Structure 1
Amino acid sequence: MIYLDKFYCFFQKTLKDLYTESKERENLFFLLTTHIFKCDKTTILLRLSQKEKINFLIYDKLIKKLWELKKNRPIQYVIGHSYFLGIKFIVNEKVFIPRPETEELVYWILQDHKVYNHDNKNPVQVFDIGTGSGCISITLKKKKPEIVHIYAIDFDTEALDIARKNAKLHNVKISFKNVDILKDIMSIPASKNYVNIIVSNPPYVKLSEKKLLHPNIVQYEPYQALFVPDEDPLIFYKKISFWIQKKLTGIIYVYFEINQFIYLDIINFLRKKGFLNIEIKKDFQGFFRMVRAVYYTK
């Protein structure tokens, strides 16, 4: 007979070399078991203390998922979902796993615009460029339903399929656009007479920094959502800024997640392009990971 506490010990032992911190292994254990048993952490703790038996079918599921973790597959892909500002999102290897730093970026937008009550003369439209799972655009729409239009843009049709599923899951209306930012950014629609909010967590890790990433990121997360060439690490910021200046009108609020190692380059680039009120912010780890700026069209 198989017992949950025995599986817990086996789980810890199996992942000890891969995840050296016991707290991290515990977190993985509870994420997996609450998913498989469809219950909360308190229930799992109770079942552990009672040395509850596990039926064979459940044990088989747990073992299969454990082997996936042993192969470095991120827990979010193993269980098929992740959480972003408390909201559940479907994820797989076609989309980048939502990160706490991006939560902070979205929270910054919500804080900046919570006092605004735009009337019909100044409705708000948001452009989420490089949407991936759709976590940014969907969260903004759920938290601020008064936003008139949100355009979620990505070049990968399979990523957009996941984002559409997440929008349907949360019953929000988002306009999804399949656009290759590097080749065809000017095709993104731009209506006049709106207050514009541009938010993007584009690829920004230089190829030379690949060795700094955790193996499960490099092995499983989409390459195209992560890396940029060393010789032009600002390539996505350049394309987005060019589009802003050529296609948008009125006041444009810009929020970028950035590479902490080249934050000064990004600030200098935005300044040279005429962006104003540039502010950089540290994430919860103390790294400069997000920037806000404003652009006024003439």
Structure 2
Amino acid sequence: MESLFFILTTYMFQCDKTTILLQLSRKEKISFIIYNQLIKKLWELKKNRPIQYVIGQTYFFGMKFIVNEKVFIPRPETEELVYWILQDHKNFIHNKPIQIFDIGTGSGCISITLKKKKPEILHVYAIDSDKEALNIAFQNARLHNVKISLKNIDILKDKIDTYPKMDNNYVNIIVSNPPYVRLSEKKFLHPNIVQYEPYQALFVPDEDPLIFYKKISFWIKKKLTGIVYVYFEINQFIYSDIIYFLKKIGFLNIEIRKDYQGFFRMVRAVYYKKK
């Protein structure tokens, strides 16, 4: 709770923790307006509203991102997924241009970070089914002065076929942190996640928990040629099912990694098809 207090106060007073501690020790007065705003936000925290939504921002890869209840709050394990991509392609020495598809982009944190860290990436397509989420991604792209293509597509219903560059001249990187929490696992989540974070960004039916991975993978097989690198964030409880599925449909070089907490939370695979 102490850390939340300092996140909130350093945001509101636009200063560091040391300054806040000094102000507290000196019992410095604050304006009535600031006091009322502070009390209001403390009540929001008491009601389990995530601190990121209370202050309207969070940090991902050391970069500030605008967030609200329309987008899932970026997590450290997603930073690890992005780091994996950057390490795998750190020199971008491919003799072909690279394009990235970020499916289920939400706040745009994955797309924007990749483009910011590696501006030599030719195309970045950030895809989401929610127009309001894409508006947040647009604001974040503008905040970081990066150019990405935002696409309003529901991958469960629509075809991802609006891109002209689908041939052997490109190296394709597909990255997705899709909904993967089974409804039966809902009871294990913290109340602030269930109450405030977008339902559609979290849950999948128990009878088909791989629904998003299947849609994305079959789209890759149908539409993309050449070499395709695939990076997924996954549910640690069904990682073996995901590996089995990817092997079954012809993906190669499958590697799974643990996150900083020791859970299997990300997988990389490669798909190759001649034109």
Which of the residues 94, 97, 103 maps onto 1:123? 97
The aligned residue for residue 14 of structure 1 is: none
Change over 3 Å in CA distance of 1:194–1:228 after alignment to 2: same
* Larger helix proportion of the pair: 1
Give the alignment partner of residue 184 of structure 1, picking from 149, 158, 166: 158
Residue 57, structure 1, aligned to residue 57, structure 2: no
Deviates more, 1:25-34 or 1:38-47: 38-47
CA contact (8 A) 2:254 2:268 kept: yes
Work out which of the residue numbers 58, 82, 86 in structure 1 matches 2:58. 82
Partner of 1:39: 15
Give CA deviations for 1:168-189 in whole Å, capped at 9, x if unaligned: 1111000000001001133342
Q: Cα distance 1:170–1:185, how it changes in 2: closer, same or farther (>3 A)?
A: same
CA-atom RMSD, angstroms?
1.0
- Tell me the number of residue pairs that the alignment of Structure 1 and Structure 2 aligns: 272
Summarize the alignment of residues 1-298 of structure 1 with structure 2, pairs less than 5 Å apart: 25-119=1-95, 122-189=96-163, 191=165, 192=167, 193-298=169-274
1:186, 1:33 → 2: CA distance?
Answer: 44
Instruction: Identify unmatched segments of 5+ residues in structure 1.
Output: 1-24
> How big is each residue's C-alpha offset from its partner over 1:77-102, in whole Å with a ceiling of 9 and x where there is no partner?
00000100100000000000000010
- Paired with 2:124 and 2:57, the residues of 1 have a C-alpha distance of 23
State the match for 1:20 in structure 2. Answer: none
TM-aligned CA distance change 1:27 to 1:188, over 3 Å: farther
1:145/1:284 CA distance change after superposition, 3 Å? same
* More divergent stretch after superposition (73-82 vs 177-186): 177-186
Alignment correspondent of 1:12? none
In 2, Cα distance between the equivalents of 1:233 and 1:227? 9
CA distance in 2, matches of 1:117, 1:279: 21
Q: Distance in 2 between matches of 1:164 and 1:264?
A: 35
Aligned-partner Cα distance in 1 for 2:162–2:218 = 12
CA contact (8 A) 2:153 2:160 kept: no
| 2:213 counterpart letter in structure 1 | Y
**Unaligned ranges ≥5, structure 2:** none
Task: Give, in angstroms, the shift of residue 190 of structure 1.
Answer: 5.4
Tell me by how many angstroms 1:106 deviates. Answer: 0.3
Contact 1:33 1:44 in 2 (8 A): yes
Counterpart code for 1:106: V
Could you tell me whether the CA contact under 8 Å between 1:190 and 1:247 is conserved in 2? Answer: no
Amino acid at match of 1:272: K
CA contact (8 A) 2:66 2:140 kept: yes
Distance 2:5 2:226 in 1: 50
- One-letter amino acid of the counterpart of residue 201, structure 2: A
Per the normalisation by structure 2, the TM-score is: 0.97
| CA shift for structure 1 position 47 | 1.8
